[in-house]
A and B are shown apart, each in its own frame.
Chain A
Amino acid sequence: MAVTSESPSTSAGHAHEGTYAGGLLSWITTVDHKRIGVMYGVSAFFFFLVGGLEALLIRLQLGSAENTLIDPDLYNQLFTMHGTTMVFLAIMPLSAAFFNFIVPLQIGARDVAFPRLNAFSFWVFFLGALFMNASFLFGGAPDAGWFGYANLTSTQYSPGMRVDFWVIGLLVLGVSSIAAALNFIVTIINLRCEGMTLMRMPLFTWMTLITSFLLVMAFPAITVGLVLLMFDRMFGTLFFNPMAGGDVLLWQHLFWIFGHPEVYILLLPGLGIVSEVIPVFSRKPLFGYAFVVYSGILIAFLGFGVWAHHMFAVGLGPVANTVFSAATMLIAIPTGVKIFNWIATLWGGSLRLRTPLYFALGFIAMFIIGGLSGVMHASAPTDLQQTDTYFIVAHIHYVLFGGVMFALFAGMYYWIPKVTGRMMSERLGKAHFWMMIISFNLTFFPQHFLGLHGMPRRTFTYESGLGFEAMNLMSTVGAMLLGASMLIFIWNVLATLKKGAPAGNDPWEASTLEWSIASPPPHYNFRVLPAVGGRDPLWAEDLTEAVPGDDPSTPEPHMPGPSYFPFATAVGILVLAGGGLTLTLPVVFVGVALILFGIYGWAFQPLEH
């Protein structure tokens, strides 16, 4: 029987007994992608609820005309934080949870390429999220919108620390995202098991790869924008000062050069999940794998060329508006054809109508609507009526909630059995689905009309007599029910953890490598690294080398040990952020010192100590 020799100094955290065993310290120092994935998932879901609460308060305020429940000051903080939280603290980390847990398993690897960098990414995200939300306790949360247009964000029009929290918080979160994306690029490019060429990778892994490239190429633009804004606010530079020749539109360009790829960063992982779920529950392979991959790549490229469709009312001129309208319509093609590929996958299949498939189908149905409203505002002239109104709010929620969140829930219902080793309740899952899809449509469909009938967005109230009351009330009722539907999910998860039936390796009769090992996987994932001969290895018996599960005759692989340097470096960044926020030099120095300590300790600590 193989015995692994662990260094006694790392007593905290070798999970021999179970993948998740160990106290708090073991979680803080873990470099195991599965645990990191779980931490991302739990944190992200928590912030999803926070963002949801902010939305419910918004909807309560808008439930009736000229309501005085929430004053404009609080309202502006709520809608700013709702957007910021949902984008950066909920959807992105939820996707990261899946990248982390699933991708190494899907490519037949034991972990990501840089396990400590992975831990670092999580802690920076988590501490950054706390930093951003701490603003509520220190003078108020950011209140200039999730898009923070200059020059409203200048110190003149946004005094105090609120916007500084936003700027610095986003810079910190950017570090986390870029580090994680770099890690996944190397992981997917380099750590694929034998026989797994790029065109044999699971779709979810492909989308992760494309998303990671988008992240590393798009974030720098907003980093620069945020730095310019930070310098204007803290050091008196003139970048966005129209009195000194600065151009406020420069902010918009930089923000949207990041912002548009960002929406594909939000979307592609969901597209990847749906591309996994639909074939498994149709019992046939994805129709047109290559097309789906190429369309993903095309979306990423084109995604960098459409940013100014967020600026059609700015007056960029007919040439720019023509180019960006055309490019935006062009990008609808690769986005749309995937839908046909999915329908073609369902067609002729044998559909097992379980909860993951319900959510995947819900995604398609809602995404079609969101995509169509998107085409309407791809046309610059019609967008002149639609932009900055509730029509856009409807669009974004159809694609991001009806789209991405439904896809992420599909992923949760699909992969929670793998993560926890237990099956979830189908009954509760379907109840969650129906309540969610009905209340979702009740909430957001009327908003299309509100926008067309003249209700602008980001308004804390509306006048009576404009016809907005009925539809706002519908929307508010829908939102309350939508919030309640989440309780069903939470109850399901808790019940699953307590008494869910054992899942076994492959409860769904799926095709990809993560289903070839135990649920939850042992901490080394694969005792013997697999080798594959095609796509869908578990279906076509393409595994050229049997994956013997936990065959005890093979020695247990030795995994990288835990490390506290990633956490220490992340804390250093948090301290630096605090020092930067308050412009206290001693704190800045302590932060830098801690970062250097963390980095050097990390660099000189061997991976398998």
Chain B
Amino acid sequence: MSQTDAAAMEMHSATGLPNRKVLMWAFIGSECMLFGSLIIVYMVYRGKSLVGPYPSDLLNIPFITVTTFVLLMSSLMMVLALSAVQRGDMKWGKIWLFMTALLGMVFLGGQVYEFSHFVHEGLTLKTNLFGGSFFLLTGTHGAHVAVGVLWLLSLVFMAQRGKLTQANAETVEIAGLYWHFVDVVWIVLFTLIYLLV
């Protein structure tokens, strides 16, 4: 008995869009509301901290501009990775996927550095409203990046074992959707937190 019907379940799609892609888009919709709510919290509490340190004391725009650029470049790597896998070029597919993850890790490294610097300067979750809302918002974003990195490295691992082929380009595309979303969220956060100080 072949894969017919369960696979048919997978392939029969009233819209022509693969199930997992629709799932990812719906999930991204939900995530927009999640980040939206966190952003609202940050914006509501902007300027309301009773004690310092305050954003202007700590936010290092040049540094974060660099890490933002790194994250943006990682999205480019992701595009290249998908393109390679869709062509069947698994060698470059692996490389670009790895590069995406690597740049993501660099970004995370930058976040860790920034966080520990802030803590050193006296800003923790409990110090004031800025500390709480800043760490929660950027921390949630960072956690999303970390999950993405884990996902990408898993894909690299799968490709290494020969389990990722041109036939599952869709898997890479969906990971790409997630990754780009996380990047777009960062652009919004960067603008609201750093550029609108």
Contacts and interface: CB of A to CB of B under 8 A. Distances in A.
A263 interface: no
A114 interface: yes
Interface size class of B (residues with CB under 8 A): 35 or more
Contact of B5 (A224, A225, A231, A557): A557
B163 to A, nearest CB: 8
B6 A220 contact: no
A5 B49 contact: no
Interface string B20-31: 001100110111
Contact of A558 (B4, B26, B48): B4
Most A CB within 10 A of own CB, among B6, B38, B50: B6
B145 to A, nearest CB: 17
Interface stretch (A69-77, A183-191, A478-486): A183-191
B95 to A, nearest CB: 23
B125 A236 contact: yes
A438 interface: no
A244 B128 contact: yes
B15 interface: yes
Contact of A182 (B5, B30, B34, B48): B30
B38 A237 contact: no
B167 interface: no
B117 interface: no
A192 interface: yes
Given A178-B30, A217-B29, A236-B125, A189 B15 contact: yes
A116 to B, nearest CB: 12
A105 to B, nearest CB: 14
Given A178-B30, A223-B34, A238 B129 contact: yes
Contacts of A396: none
B5 A216 contact: no
A228 B136 contact: yes
B14 A192 contact: yes
B132 A220 contact: no
Interface stretch (A246-254, A314-322, A371-379): A246-254
A607 B126 contact: no
Nearest to A192: B14
Contacts of B19: 113-114, 186, 190-191
A183 B19 CA distance: 9
B56 interface: no
Given A189-B14, A228-B136, A250 B44 contact: yes
A190 B9 CA distance: 10
A529 interface: yes
Given A191-B14, A524-B5, A608-B6, A185 B22 contact: yes
B196 to A, nearest CB: 20
A154 to B, nearest CB: 13
A155 to B, nearest CB: 13
Given A220-B30, A223-B34, A236-B126, A191 B6 contact: no
B37 A254 contact: yes
B42 to A, nearest CB: 11
Given A178-B30, A182-B27, A216-B29, A189 B129 contact: no
B6 A607 contact: yes
Contacts of A245: 45, 48-50, 128-129
B129 A114 contact: no
A191 B12 contact: yes
Nearest to A111: B9
Contacts of B131: 237
A219 interface: yes
B132 A190 contact: no
Contact of B128 (A192, A235, A238): A238
Contacts of A216: 26-27, 29-30, 33
A110 interface: yes
B147 to A, nearest CB: 10
Contacts of B41: 224, 228, 239, 250, 254
A576 to B, nearest CB: 14
A237 B132 contact: yes
A330 B45 CA distance: 32
A161 interface: no
A22 interface: no
Given A114-B23, A228-B41, A228-B136, A191 B9 contact: yes
Nearest to A524: B5
B89 interface: no
Interface in A202-239: 216-221, 223-225, 227-228, 231, 235-239
A272 to B, nearest CB: 20
B110 to A, nearest CB: 23
A560 interface: yes
B126 to A, nearest CB: 4
A231 B27 CA distance: 25
Contacts of A218: 33
A162 B13 CA distance: 46
A368 interface: no
Given A219-B30, A228-B136, A237 B13 contact: no
Contacts of B154: 600, 603
Interface string B118-136: 0000000110110111001
A4 interface: yes
Nearest to B13: A190
B26 A185 contact: yes
Most B CB within 10 A of own CB, among A190, A223, A558, A603: A190
B132 A239 contact: yes
Contacts of A246: 45, 129
Nearest to A218: B33
Interface of A: 2-5, 109-111, 113-114, 178, 182-183, 185-186, 189-192, 196, 216-221, 223-225, 227-228, 231, 235-239, 244-247, 250, 254, 257, 524, 529, 555, 557-560, 600, 603, 607-608
25 contacts: A2-B1, A4-B1, A111-B9, A113-B22, A182-B23, A182-B27, A182-B30, A183-B23, A190-B15, A196-B14, A224-B37, A225-B37, A227-B136, A231-B132, A236-B126, A238-B128, A244-B129, A247-B44, A254-B37, A257-B37, A529-B12, A557-B4, A558-B3, A558-B4, A600-B154
* Smallest CB-CB A-B distances: 9 pairs: A220-B34, A557-B5, A224-B37, A608-B6, A220-B33, A237-B132, A216-B30, A236-B126, A192-B14
Interface of B: 1, 3-7, 9-10, 12-15, 17, 19, 22-23, 26-27, 29-31, 33-34, 36-38, 41, 44-45, 48-50, 125-126, 128-129, 131-133, 136, 154
Given A216-B27, A239-B132, 13 more contacts: A2-B1, A114-B23, A183-B23, A185-B22, A190-B15, A220-B36, A221-B37, A223-B37, A236-B125, A247-B44, A557-B4, A559-B6, A607-B10
